[in-house]
């Protein structure tokens, strides 16, 4: 049997919705993924941030990665491969955009920033009813790792296994590049949180 030469190359793409609350560090996740994409020579489009990016407001952005040209920076409903969320209710907000085989990687700990925030049990139950969800209390894990500000890197580590377009080492190298100006200790602290998140899936 001979391979069809027209099918030896297969396009790889990943459509990601990033969401959370302003001040949680969701945009740092986008920056690290973008750095990894640039280093890997991938095509990248990121939609402008929607919502209020100041502390306490909701933040959402579309991030599209591909080995081929990307024609739009917006992810159509039902096409997102992955939702990465710093906050569980924000993850639920974007379910209409998730593909049938898509996954949600989220913090399990609510950030109660509105007076009518739903009951925590109801939010978690709705997440648990979905087929592909990975959730942990990332804030507590970051504190245990000695880096309370590193919850977003724990979340990125959790998401790494779903980002088939990258190897974990590429994301780890991107963390090194992004945080290099802050010194080796900050780089190592963030890599430690990333590794902790990644190991949660094993």
Beta bridge partners of 80: 98
What is the token pair recorded at 166? 């990258």
Q: Please report, for the chain, the start and end positions of each structural domain, with discontinuous segments joined by +.
A: 12-199
With residue 98 as reference, give the H or E element that holds it. Answer: strand 98-107
Do you know the residue count of the chain?
Answer: 202
| CATH, range 12-199 | 3.40.920.10
Around Cβ 89, how many Cβ atoms within 10 Å? 24
The model scores a pTM over 0.75: yes
Pairing of strands 98-107, 133-136: parallel
pLDDT tens figures, 159-202: 999 998 999 999 999 999 999 999 999 999 999 999 999 999 75
Around Cβ 73, how many Cβ atoms within 10 Å? 14
In the predicted structure, residue 5 carries a pLDDT above the cut 60 = no
Confidence of residue 113 (pLDDT cuts 50, 70, 90): confident
Beta bridge partners of 14: 65
Q: Are 80 and 15 in contact (CB under 8 A)?
A: yes
User: Exposed (0-12), middle (13-18) or buried (19+): which is 21, by Cβ within 10 Å?
Assistant: buried
């Amino acid at each position: 049997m001979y391979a069809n030469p027209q099918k030896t190359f297969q396009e790889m793409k990943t459509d990601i919705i990033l969401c959370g609350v302003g001040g949680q560090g969701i945009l740092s996740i986008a920056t690290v993924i973008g750095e990894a994409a640039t280093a890997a020579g991938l095509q990248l489009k990121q939609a402008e941030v929607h919502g209020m990016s100041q502390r306490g407001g909701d933040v959402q952005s579309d991030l599209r990665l591909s080995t081929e040209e990307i024609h739009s920076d917006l992810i159509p409903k039902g096409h997102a491969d992955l939702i990465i969320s710093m906050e569980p209710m924000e993850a639920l907000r974007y379910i209409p955009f998730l593909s049938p085989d898509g996954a949600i990687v989220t913090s399990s700990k609510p950030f109660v920033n509105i007076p009518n925030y739903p009951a925590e049990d109801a939010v978690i139950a709705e997440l648990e009813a979905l087929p592909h969800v990975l959730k942990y209390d990332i804030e507590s894990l970051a504190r245990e790792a000695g880096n309370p500000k590193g919850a977003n890197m724990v979340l990125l580590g959790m998401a790494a296994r779903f980002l088939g377009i990258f190897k974990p080492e590429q994301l780890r190298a991107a963390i090194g590049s992004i945080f290099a100006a802050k010194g080796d200790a900050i780089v190592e602290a963030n890599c430690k949180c990333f590794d902790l998140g990644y190991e949660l899936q094993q």
